[in-house]
Structure 1
Amino acid sequence: ADGIRAAGADVIDIGMVVTPMTYFAAQHLDTQCSVMVTGSHNPPDYNGLKMVIAGDTLSGADILALKTRIEAGRVASGDGAYRIADVAPAYLDRIVGDLTLARPMAIAIDAGNGVAGAFAGTLYRRLGCTVTEMFCDVDGTFPNHHPDPSQPKNLADLIALLVQGRHELGLAFDGDGDRLGVVTRDGHVIYPDRQLMLFAADVLSREPGATIIYDVKSTRNLKPWIARHGGKPLLWKTGHSLIKVKMKEVGAALAGEMSGHTFFKERWYGFDDGLYAGARLLEILSRYPDASAVLDGLPDALSTPELQVECAEGEHHALIATLGRSAEFPGATDVIRIDGLRVEYIDGFGLARASNTTPVIVLRFEADNAPALERIKSEFRRVLTAAKPGIALRF
């Protein structure tokens, strides 16, 4: 805050909040600018800034340009004002005032000791749910498990609670509350690309013909599902800031990433918000007597979770660039290069891309059956080993 004030800008300090509250505050307090200090879902020794300037989330070239300005000393000076504001009540009121559950539901939530734990229970109780909280005391050392619901191992405690039969649904959040994980009563993980199917059908019932964006890690089932429900499917790059830019460009009503970021423009502001996505999911599922049956009935495919290959800092980008130049995939029907390599086959796909946040290569595979899945994985093992002999692959 002192650094921003020293540049001549006024500061409104909103305290310890989930990242979506920061985006909300920029709208609610009419600043259109915000900075969130967060390590997101990364390990405790990571930290970073999520920045919004004049309503646009900074990414890529904009962040590099900012770095260049700072290094060159081209910064403003001044003496900005400072005040404190509590936006949590207005944020919660905005959600509760817009959403109505058709019936009360019994749910369990797992915040993984991330900051979502300070707010999620209150939100869902106000919506009429009976809520059991797990690891909702905020502790940045994450003593129970890492707050990353995209990794199945981090959902083990929630699954164990759900299968006891006292709850209809389990919701899990990442460290800064902008991503959602979902577990059914029977302990089945409903990955975010399948969640997006349910959200898309709901949004398209009110906005027929709307564009729905999904990222390169998502299932092949989304494209026909969106089209069948009257929408326009659009595949795009992974990354919350990149998705937001694309949403504005094409006027999309909804977008989602396999990592658990879901962006609602219809009835909301267009930013990613795990708590709000959970509320929208509860609104939809409360219309049915058996929430798990609805979720389990969504189209599915044999697939892997997100897989990671650790690299040295910067090496992951170079390795993906090498694959882009030299890798060949016999039998592929398409190689999509908008973000790494998404290689499409008649019976599945494989993906390799460089993470935006940590020095890892992210992989995901999907296929119609187990032999096809293994064949596609072996193709990626082949090209990765050729690009970097001796690389440690655990898939």
Structure 2
Amino acid sequence: MSKLVGSLQGYIWRGYLMAGKNTNKLLSGQATISSKSYAYSAKEIYYSTLPYAATYHKSAVTGYDPTKTKPETSYGAISRSVISNYQPSMTKAQIQTVIAFEQAKKSVPDFRIVDVPYQASDGTEMVPVVQVFSAPYRDLDDYDHDGKWTTEATVRNVLLAQENGSGKIFESNPEAQQVELVGPQYAFPDDDAAMLSSNYYGIDNTTRIIKRVGQFVMLSSRLKSGIFYAKASDLITLNTNKPTVIDGIPYVTSMPLAPASPNHYVDTASGKALKAAGYTKVRTLFDDSMNEYRLKNGVWTDSLFASFETKIFSPDFDYRHVYFNVSDTDEGKIKSNKVITLNEGNNDFKKLLMAPTETLLGK
């Protein structure tokens, strides 16, 4: 199991873990936890509100055996040593904290605290997580669905949430600001902990800033992945009322053109205002992609598109690499295209995404 600290003797952790022969035996004398709680060390289960079983009310349960589950992939670009370095010790106090956190929710499903395998760049690493149980049910089409254990959050993120609170809404003035993350999301505050585009999340309207951790900012998102990190230098704030000039290039938050028909574009209100203000080139940013627009014969046209990809659906997909795609476009047609494979560990997306046009096109 994960690093157990405290009263550990073989497979028995007093008050929580029982030897495999005691499978599903009700824990006694644990009134501070629950009147009905279970643990099974041979299956890496620290605590559960349900007994370990392949069925629930005679219906099958998916993922009931955590030792046989398919590895989670969100840490696929991170080494085992880095993942292990940021995992909690799983002390009695930490488990009590997780239990209290889960039980404090308005709606408390059955849950368990358990080690599950995570895919790392150099193998698999066991990570303690909180899983919630969905009971079997029959839908309106009379189709029966099995019960299911699914991962809700890592124990580390639950402990961080309990310790730091939910934070504050990221945008201090959302009426006039749009924040874009032009870099990878990090699982931990570590240069070697980038989670590449297969698990890429930007900033959404539920994102909250929790605190600064060195060069990183700890963020939380209800819609995305819970707690994650970003480099402060990768967070770009754009003004929604006027272009934001960065390194001589104006960035806007709305496109200057819009399709009027499949092959015909017209200026938007924003495009007309930009033209009147004398701009001939602008860009939009959306997290891991960028569009550049230029005036051509007095009309805005799309001239460049750049984005990061991971070939996520390709059979040769590799979590350790990310690809930078640049397309020279004209009125929606691609004139030329090039793909740059970033070296492993090169997470400077911002430098590429916001490079001058000539650099991106190799001119």
Given the two structures, how large is their TM-score scaled by the length of structure 1?
0.21
The higher radius of gyration belongs to 2
More strand per residue: 2
Higher relative contact order (CA 8 A, sep 6+): 1
More helix per residue: 1
Given the two structures, how large is their TM-score scaled by the length of structure 2?
0.23
